[in-house]
Structure 1
């Protein structure tokens, strides 16, 4: 049976961030993830994790200037020093929060830029970062993201991501397989799961309804079937619930829209 982690950047928007840990625990979650912890002291977050018996399973490394639209630095020539500083900061937080994996966002290409011109920087930066992370026993993840949500994002397909893993050659670099993004770009999700999970190169899975990124029981995907495929394949990692509550918010908050989760708790 899949194990689900609450994404606290998206779930419980009706609460302040630090109050979302308690809400997730009360709803039966045993683990959490989110985009970024850096607006808070690691001590504050660690206290919330401990108080509510939660495991921190994932967060992102610094993405550059998020407010200005930057979505990662890994592929961007000339930003190497900033990227490496961010990896150091993320690893410091990971140690304080006992977090075993970090998502490294690739970055977006300038309009009209050729992807191939940025690929060597991407591979070089990931290789360096993986060497730093392995010293701490941390896995790094790369995630293909659809270009409807993030136009120009460097990494969009599962085959691209697995080729990056082969080119970097680091055992602690894995793919973050978000089924929402994968459905929009590629579809054929059950076949993709059967293709890639047995390789051992998928380090984390995320879910959301398609097309509007709401609860997984809203939209075109049959998640109960996909969860059965995960069980069939012996997936024992976490499944991150990275969606924007809709049904729940219309009734009385995120918790009201978690009916889909109850059979799995």
Structure 2
């Protein structure tokens, strides 16, 4: 079965940001990912990762002005300089802690602004992909469902694939979040197979609850078997909102995993 990483934006929140590293390691995770870890000094984060022998896969670009409703900047015309600053913050911090990927958040766009947003996102990704390549990092883009985040620009796998084709950079990949994709489109197995070469990371959570992946309408054990059969060798991010304490809901993990060597330089995948 594929290897599982812990998304520390949602898991182990009973602990401080830095202590989540040790908690994840104690639970058996060899890799983690975070949304916005910037409040922790990079040196402290790197030390915690090293001490616990855990790899940080990736992190998100800052959302922008959250108080004003921003949820990413990558596809927002007129805010290119803000996006570049957000990316450089993420890439610099990520490189300092040994992360391998940056998720570039596209942001919220009204329907009438979609054509301009697409052009902006493509142009921004070309620039940031070139910068990321210099640090041996991958740029990830993630479709997010419109039920949880109405008007999020990037919302389908096919749209993400089309964006990547236009960007034409080998280090731009899809973050295939099964939760978001099931809500927006379904047909997960076929989409994983069709777009496998473009997938840099997979994430899981129950649908519709977004809780532990051992409930809901998606058979994740079957998804994992399909990924094995397809030859996916990367990580699967446990990005769900626990029903209670994180440790109490990890019964699914030992049943779904097998011993595998730790890939220190894997993409956020």
Aligned length: 257
Kept in 1: contact 2:18–2:40 (CA 8 A):
no
Does residue 105 of the first structure (1) align with residue 97 of the second (2)?
Answer: no
Q: Match for residue 246 of structure 2?
A: 254
1:17 & 1:95 partners in 2: Cα distance?
A: 19
Deviation at 1:77, TM superposition (A): 1.2
Alignment partner, residue 34 of structure 2: 34
Distance in 1 between the 2:19 and 2:78 partners?
38
Name the residue aligned to 2:223.
226
Partner of 1:203: 200
1:140 equivalenced with 2:132 (yes/no): no
**Which runs of 5 or more residues in structure 2 are unaligned?**
259-269
Q: TM-score, normalised by structure 2?
A: 0.93
Partner of 2:264: none
* 1:1-265 aligned within 5 A: 1-110=1-110, 112-197=111-196, 200-246=197-243, 249=244, 253-263=245-255, 264-265=257-258
Give distance in 1, aligned partners of 2:67 and 2:189.
Answer: 35
SS of the aligned residue for 1:113 comes to helix
Instruction: Give the Cα–Cα distance (whole angstroms) in 2 for the partners of residues 207 and 217 of structure 1.
Output: 10
Q: How far off is 1:88 after superposition?
A: 1.4
Structure 1: runs of 5+ lacking an equivalent = none
Provide the rounded CA distance (Å) in 1 between the counterparts of 2:247 and 2:210. 17
Tell me, in whole angstroms, the C-alpha distance in 1 between the residues paired with 2:28 and 2:178.
22
CA offsets per residue over residues 182-235 of structure 1, 9 Å max, x none?
0000001111111111xx210000000000100001111101000000100111
State the alpha-carbon separation in 2 of the partners of residues 53 and 66 from structure 1. Answer: 33
Worse-superposed segment, 178-187 or 74-83: 74-83
| Counterparts of 1:150 and 1:40, CA distance in 2 | 27
2:32 and 2:67 map into 1 onto residues whose CA distance is 24
